[in-house]
Amino acid sequence: MAANHPLATDAPTLVLASGSPYRRALLERLGLPFLQEPASVDERISPGETPAEAVLRLARAKAASVLARHPGAIVIGSDQVAVRGDEILGKPGDAESATQQLTRSAGRQVEFLTGVCILGGPGEPEEHMDITRVVFRTLTPQEIRNYVHRDEPFDCAGSFRAEGLGIALFERIDSQDPTGLVGLPLIWLAQALRRLGLPTL
C-alpha cells in the first residue's frame, strides 16, 4: 500500500484489482493510498474475440470482481495482451518457452495492448486502451539464452521485463505512455483519477 499523499477523510478507498507487483509499483508512483487485491476471473480469450475486445472486457471483469467485495470503493482493473502478427503471446512460464518466444520475436514487431477500467465513484465507468509497439533487434541464440538466464521473465507476456534487462533486446519502442508496456498506463490513469476527485499532485 502507498500512503504518502494526503486525502480527505471521506475519500473513497482506492483498490488495485491485481496481484501484479509490477502494477503495484507503478500505482505507488502516484503517491495515493490504495489497497491491492487480486481479481478472480477467467482470463481466457473468448472464441472470435479480438485482442482489443479481450483486454477491455477482462479489465472490466477484474474491476467488477473486486468492487463486489469493496462496495463504495474506486477499483482499477487492468489486463494486457501481447500480439505478434496473428499470434497472441502468453506468459512463458519457464525458460524453454521464454527462449522459444524470444527466438520467434527477434527482428520483429510485437504489439502490447493494455486495457484499463475504473469502476465505482461518481459518474460512469472509465475505460482506456493503450497500445505500445516494440521492435526487437536481431538476437543471437546466445544473447537470448543469456537474457532468459539473467532476467527470468517467466511471468511476463512476451518473455521480457522492459523495466529490467529486457530493454537491451529492443531496436525501438513506439508508445504514447512508457508505463503502458509494464501494465498500467499512468498518464491516462492519473487524469482519470483526478476526474474522480483523487489528487495526484
**What is the CA 72 to chain-centroid distance, rounded?**
24
Which residue segments constitute the domains of the chain, with CATH numbers given? 14-195 (3.90.950.10)
**pLDDT at residue 187 in the model:** 97
In order, the DSSP letters of 32-92 are ---EE-------PPPTT--HHHHHHHHHHHHHHHHHTTSTT-EEEEEEEEEEETTEEE---
| Active site (annotated) includes residue 177 | no
Residue 151's SS3 state is helix
Of these residues, 10, 42, 79, 177, which one is catalytic? Answer: 79
Mean pLDDT of 158-175: 93
At 10, is the pLDDT very low, low, confident or very high (cuts 50, 70, 90)? low
At 121, is the pLDDT very low, low, confident or very high (cuts 50, 70, 90)? confident
Model confidence pLDDT, tens digit, residues 44-82: 888 899 999 999 999 999 999 999 999 999 999 999 999
